[in-house]
Amino acid sequence: MNKKLTMIKVSTDTGGCSHAWLLLIFLLLPFFSFGQNAILTPESFLDKVRTQHPVARQANLLTDQARAALLAARGGFDPKLYGDWERKSFDGKNYFNIGEGGLKIPTWYGIEGKLGYNYTSGVFLNPENKLPSDGQAVLGFTLPLLQGMMIDERRANLFQAKILRQANQAEQHNIRNDLLLDAAKAYWNWALANAWLQTYEEAVQVATVRLIGLRESYEAGDKPAVDTLEALIQVQDRSLQRNDARVVFRNTMLDLQNFFWENDLPVPFDTTQRPVQLSLLPQLPALLDASPDEMAAQHPAVQGYEFKLQQLEVERRLKAEQLKPRLDVSYNLLGDGLDLQPGEDGNFADLFRENYKFGISAGFPIFLRKERGSLQLANLKIVDTNYDLSQKRQEIRNKIAAYQNDLRNLNQQIQLASQMRDNYAALLEAENVKFAIGESSLFLVNSRENKLIEAELKLAKLQAELMKAEAGLRWAAGRLE
């Protein structure tokens, strides 16, 4: 802003004291028009987007989804009540009543416990189903010795649900990271449009003050009429540019409006707010010198693929477990009514002497085509995901390196553009001095001034590009969130 004010000052030494008050009004106008506006900082803007935008709030649902999936997986280990009852009556005779009820308790190690009670009665009861008159309590378990011993579907679901919770957290970060990049770009486009509009506003004021001064000089006979015509054309040309800049500025505010939400409803954007000045920018981020490979390894998108591989590995273990033969043993201690004492002496050896029911269940597919095919598919999914992971890691690594290169180049470009702006300002000041003593022309003054305006616009654009590149670097590293 200091160089711009210098440009206005040196460009208005063409008139007399009669227009001094009008000149003062033009010089102070920018402070009245922009000084009273509230400043919306990028930090406060991104905080609002991070907490209020529907995409960010939608990403939070992933936590609830993971929690619900984990709850469902843990439900596979919930104890279950069961009950069956069957009765047959024919020709006035009670053929039989058979009932069983109890509780089954799955455990982490694949063992399923059972506590039940059986009751039977009837005239034509199958001898196998005859029980003591008080019924029969049953206490037993089923144990897989081969397939299902190391892992089963219940444990696999729980493993995957726990991994899903971490995967969804990474996905949350990834979604918010993308959202905030779009928001940051919209903010800096708005800041650039604001800087350009201010430059054009001041340029119109400079040209208008010069036109007033030249008209007074013409009326006094000091300047030719053609100078007033050229000054008028300059005012008209810069007014056209200012009007275009106003439209661009309003459109960038509309883009910014997309990110203003509160309580799941869009809120109107306060058009009196203004962004931070592009000339007051922070230093380059510390990520500029960080290793792209290390940052890529910590990116949430990469972590998402790593969590997916962990889930696929659980699936592969489950498919490999199904290659084993199925061999389950079951033991049930049978009671006399509710008395579950193994024998007369109650010794451990009596568990396999009387009052028990023991069984073995086995099975094995001859060709294992279903099981081998399922295992091959699981392995192929892992290989496919590893390819995706390698590609994603390389893409992110290259994006980080590209943004680092852009930032280094933009930093150098801004230094050069700033020096050019200062040099153009010096040329304009010298040209104004020459014009004041009659050794230059209005055409040359306008030419110098246009070059200074172009340098101001170019510098503002580079500064905005620098801020967008900084946001891009944070986004590429997965740390904008």
Q: Could you state, in order of their start, the residue ranges of all structural domains in the chain?
A: 2-69+156-311+383-476, 80-155+323-368
What DSSP letter does each residue of 380-391 carry, written as one string?
Answer: HHHHHHHHHHHH
Amino acid in position 78: D
**62, pLDDT greater than 70:** yes
Top-confidence residue, 23 or 335: 335
Q: What is the pLDDT of residues 119-132, one digit of tens each?
A: 998 888 888 888 88
Would you say the C-alpha torsion 250, 256, 262, 263 has a positive or negative sign? positive
| Euclidean distance between CA atoms 464 and 84, whole angstroms | 74
Of residues 217 and 198, the one with the higher pLDDT is 198
Matching residue, tokens 């449009």: 193
Give the pLDDT confidence score for residue 280 in this predicted structure: 61
Mean pLDDT along residues 226-248: 94
If you average pLDDT over every residue of the chain, what do you get? Answer: 88
C-alpha span between 14 and 5 (Å, rounded): 16
Q: For the chain, how long is the longest CA-to-CA vector?
A: 136
Q: How many CA atoms lie within 13 A of 260 on its CB side?
A: 14
Mean of pLDDT values over 20-28: 48
> Which residue type sits at 234?
Q
pLDDT tens figures, 360-408 = 999 999 999 999 999 999 999 999 999 999 999 999 999 999 999 999 9
Token output for 342? 């193994």
Residue 472 Cα distances to 120, 378, 405, angstroms: 75, 36, 12
The token duo for 248 is 């661009």
Determine the residue type at 164. L
pLDDT in tens, 106-120: 999 899 999 999 999
Average pLDDT of 440-458?
93
Residue 349 has a pLDDT of 64
Do strands 261-262 and 112-121 pair parallel, antiparallel, or not at all (unpaired)? unpaired
CATH code matching the domain that covers 2-69+156-311+383-476, chosen among 3.20.20.10, 1.20.1600.10, 1.10.3720.10, 1.10.357.10 = 1.20.1600.10
**Structural element, H or E, at residue 215:** helix 153-219
Looking at the predicted structure, is the pLDDT value of residue 11 above 60? no
Q: Provide the residue type at 469 as one letter.
A: A
Cα 343 from chain centre: 66
Confidence check: pLDDT of 343 > 90: no
Tell me the pLDDT tens digit for each residue of 278-326.
876 556 678 888 899 999 999 999 999 999 999 999 999 999 999 999 9
Q: Rounded to whole angstroms, how far apart are CA atoms 396 and 302?
A: 9
Q: What is the pLDDT of residue 269?
A: 85
- Which DSSP symbol is given to 12? T
> What is the residue-wise DSSP string for 240-285?
HHHHHHHHHHHHHHHHHHTT-EETTEE----TT-B---TTS-PPPP
Report the distance separating Cα 367 and Cα 344, nearest Å: 49
CA gap 307, 16 in Å, rounded: 76
pLDDT of residue 345: 61
Token readout for 66 is 């993971």
For 198, other C-beta atoms within 10 Å of its C-beta total 23
